[in-house]
Amino acid sequence: LYPWRHRSAGPQVRVKRDWIIPPIRVSENSKQVPEDLVQIKSDKIFTGEVIYMLEGPGVDQDPKGLFEIDEKTGWIKSKMPLDREKHKSFKVNVLVGIVLESPTTIEIYVLDQNDHRPEFTQKEFIGTIPEFSVPGTSVMQVTAIDSDDPMTENAALSYFIVGQESIPPHSINKTMFGINNKTGVIYTRDVGLDRDVVQSFKLTLQVADMSGMGLTSTGRAIIHISDINNHAPKFHPTMVCNNKKTIKNMQSLVNATDKDQKGGDNWKIKYTIVNPSGHFAIRTDPVSNQGIISVAKPLDYESQAEYRLIVKAENEVRLKSPYEQIHSATVTVRVMNENEAPVFYKNPIKVTVAESIIPGTVLVSDIAHDPDNSKLRFEIIQDPESWLAINHATGQITAKRSFNIRSPHVRNNIYSANADGISATATLEVSLWETNDYPPVLIPLSGTVCSDQDRDKLGLLLSAVDEDMSPQADPFTFYIGDQNVAANWTIITLNETHAVLHPLIDIEKGEFSISVVVSDSGSPSLSSNALVNVTVCPCDSFGDCKSYTAAVFGTKMGISFIALMIIMGCIALLLFLIVLAVAVNGCTRQNIRKGGGLLVGVSDDDIRDNVFHYDEQGGGEEDEDAFNIDFLRNPRDMVPAPASFFPQNCSLPRGKQPLRKDAPQNLPSPTYPRKPPGDPTDIEDFINVGLDAADNDPNVPPYDTALIYDYEGDGSVAGSLSSIASMGSDDDQDYDYLNDWGPRFKKLANMYDPR
């Protein structure tokens, strides 16, 4: 409080002095308040009174009101009891007057008193230790805290076990656990921790400060004895016999017990079949810990009627007791014979065939068997397309007809049908692969090639369609079928489905028929040949031929469309008049000849030697009435006809009509000699052709006769060799034969019909 003053022999020199104030220590919970702590005094020469001031925590800062200073005397005082657990120290600043000297800092430390009890960090500590642990085995550590100053004895803690209780009660009376007084670690003190005897312990704990001489508090700890696998599972019976009638749902229980803690890992049993045949399997029921034997493969009474199984039981956790042995039991299973259902070898039954399979082809056979060797009967219960047939006795499935991969019942190239036995059903899946059934068809069959374009740009786009699917369809191959045409035209392939028919030379305008062959990529490949009609012409901007469009729609050149329609109407009218004239002429030729009364129709088969029908219109000879030369073939056989039939002025010879049979209608038309040639050198050929036509004329009578080329009048009548001429008169004649001459002589027959 009073700094040193240094004196020397020379003149006095003022030396700066500092305040030196040691820390102030104040006990907490002091009842003597207010209490003087320390006095501050300045030694600076100043006339008048000095004013002291105090500021900082505990004064004008939180917590406020703990300290104050006498502004005249400089005494610092505590105003109320202090609590170290809340505030361990304070730093306050002291000022003198109007800044006579620099402020100084005073530290105030609160001294601790043992005013708090130690407390355990948990209300109840829980620990676990395996059974049969050796002495000294650490179980767990308990902890406690004290709010007093840890640097003093007030917080020096000591731990004690003041009580022990076993569960079940009184199962063990000796002290089994101890505790480290300083660390709080609980450990075993003795042997005999057997979980079969005792399951847990309750310990009463105590902690005290002042190294066990101060304030105390109590707590509790529970120690559980954990199970170890010191018991092996054991079977009660040594043999278990199961006689099951229903093999399909067979389950047998084997029971083994384990004395370890129920539900724990040491209690769980794992069952194993020592001599597995593959027909049985065993598993553990997680609730009852029993072994469940089930059938893994179908059992056949005919093959083996009894099975002896050795079942072993052991824990999943390794056994720790050297005195325990692994137990086993024998299980006998007897199989009872019963009528078993037939079994398909495969389900589904899968086959792969071509869609164009030959009817009667065997798809699959030997599809099922009966375990009892009984006879089976097979049926197809679902075949939507009726493609399949089955042998009811053997189960052999054949194709009734070819398949169609495009059927709506074929999905992903698979056709499914169900084959049914008496009590078993299987599915037959027929996988179809595409076969080449249809040749490709060329399109289009006609088109236009514009001749006014560059040759490199000329061509007709060709394509093809195929009803088959890939890979039996495209890519297509196009080529020209006629080698002569191939010299002028070629086909350029664009892609797998299109090509261009391209001219190799400058083609004249006109119509061309080109043979094009298109083939597919199937195996074997199929092809088709088609004629493509190509029109080569100059084209307009739309690709149409100018010659056609100009004729119809042109206005600057040629005629208009209306004029063209008028001309076409006139042509149609003229054609109608010509047809009408021909029809009228044909009807007129059926009328009575001019100048006579003979009703004779004009026939193409009626050949006159001096008249040729050329179907020419124009002027002819003045005398157009040609004599029928057929009457001259047998002039003596002619019998005079009634006077009423022939007119008096008729120039025809009187007598009976000659016997004439019409040639069959299916014979060819008579061959007429051609017009005489103008060149005399061809006379010989002309005569030969005429002779050949006469020899092949089907209308010539079936007897030899002389050809009369001209008629010069009546001649002498020779005696007739015909039996008809010997008849006396017309009254004695029989004219019924006229009905046999055909429809051309029907009118004549009616005239001579006496009826």
Q: Tell me, what's the pLDDT at 159?
A: 94
In whole angstroms, give the CA distance from residue 407 to residue 132.
79
**Residue 621 or residue 368, greater confidence:** 368
In whole angstroms, give the CA distance from residue 629 to residue 672.
18
Q: Which two tokens stand for residue 138?
A: 């650490």
178-231: pLDDT as tens digits: 999 999 999 999 988 888 889 899 999 999 988 888 889 999 999 999 888 888
At the top level of CATH, which class does the domain 234-335 belong to?
mainly beta
Residue ranges of domains in the chain: 24-111, 119-226, 234-335, 343-433, 441-553, 554-588, 593-613+623-663+699-755
663-697: pLDDT as tens digits: 444 444 444 445 555 555 567 778 888 877 777 77
Burial class (CB in 10 A: 0-12, 13-18, 19+), 130: middle
Parallel/antiparallel/unpaired status of strands 24-27 and 104-111: parallel
Q: Tell me, what's the pLDDT at 638?
A: 46
227-256: pLDDT as tens digits: 888 888 888 765 554 444 344 456 778 888
Q: Which two tokens stand for residue 739?
A: 């009905």
* Percentage of the chain exceeding pLDDT 70: 70
Q: Is the pLDDT of residue 578 over 70?
A: yes
Q: Which two tokens stand for residue 63?
A: 């917590």
Q: What's the whole-model pTM score? A: 0.39
At the top level of CATH, which class does the domain 119-226 belong to?
mainly beta
Q: Tell me, what's the pLDDT at 409?
A: 73
In whole angstroms, give the CA distance from residue 510 to residue 451.
10
User: CATH number of the domain at 24-111, out of 3.40.50.300, 2.40.37.10, 2.60.40.60, 3.40.50.880?
Assistant: 2.60.40.60
Q: How many alpha carbons lie under 13 Å from residue 496 in its C-beta half-sphere?
A: 9
Candidates 446, 465, 441, 563; CA nearest to 513 is 446
Contact between 71 and 101 (Cβ < 8 Å): no
- Count of H-run helices and E-run strands, the chain: 5, 43
In whole angstroms, give the CA distance from residue 530 to residue 478.
11
Query: What's the Rg (C-alpha) of the chain?
Result: 70
Select, from the ranges 358-362, 590-594, 727-731, the one with the highest average predicted confidence (pLDDT): 358-362
Contact between 187 and 221 (Cβ < 8 Å): no
Q: Tell me, what's the pLDDT at 612?
A: 53
Q: Is the pLDDT of residue 144 over 90?
A: yes
Q: Which two tokens stand for residue 631?
A: 């009457």
Q: Which CATH superfamily is domain 343-433 in?
A: Cadherins (2.60.40.60)
One DSSP character per residue, 366-434 reads --EE-TT------EEEE-TT--EEE-TTT--EEESS---TT-TTEETTEEEEEEE-SS-EEEEEEEEE-
One DSSP character per residue, 40-82 reads -------SS---EEEESBTTTBSSTTSEEE-TTT-EEEE-S--
543-573: pLDDT as tens digits: 677 755 444 444 444 455 677 788 888 999 9
Q: Taking the domain 441-553, which CATH number applies?
A: 2.60.40.60
Q: Whose structure tokens read 């009101």?
A: 65
CB atoms within 10 A of CB 654: 13
Q: Please, which contacts does 41-49 make with residues 24 or more away whose CB atoms are closer than 8 Å?
A: 41/1, 41/74, 42/74, 42/96, 42/97, 42/100, 42/101, 43/2, 43/3, 43/17, 44/96, 44/100, 44/101, 46/97, 46/100
Question: What phi and psi, each to the nearest 5 degrees, are found at residue 462?
Answer: -115, 150
636-648: pLDDT as tens digits: 444 444 333 333 4
**Residue 58 or residue 272, greater confidence:** 272
In whole angstroms, give the CA distance from residue 308 to residue 238.
13
Contact between 517 and 529 (Cβ < 8 Å): yes
The band of 164, judged by pLDDT with boundaries at 50, 70 and 90, is: very high
Looking at residue 706, what DSSP letter applies?
P
CB atoms within 10 A of CB 727: 15
The average pLDDT across 389-414 equals 77
299-309: pLDDT as tens digits: 877 788 888 88
One DSSP character per residue, 591-605 reads SPPTT--------TT
Q: Tell me, what's the pLDDT at 592?
A: 41
Contact between 159 and 180 (Cβ < 8 Å): yes
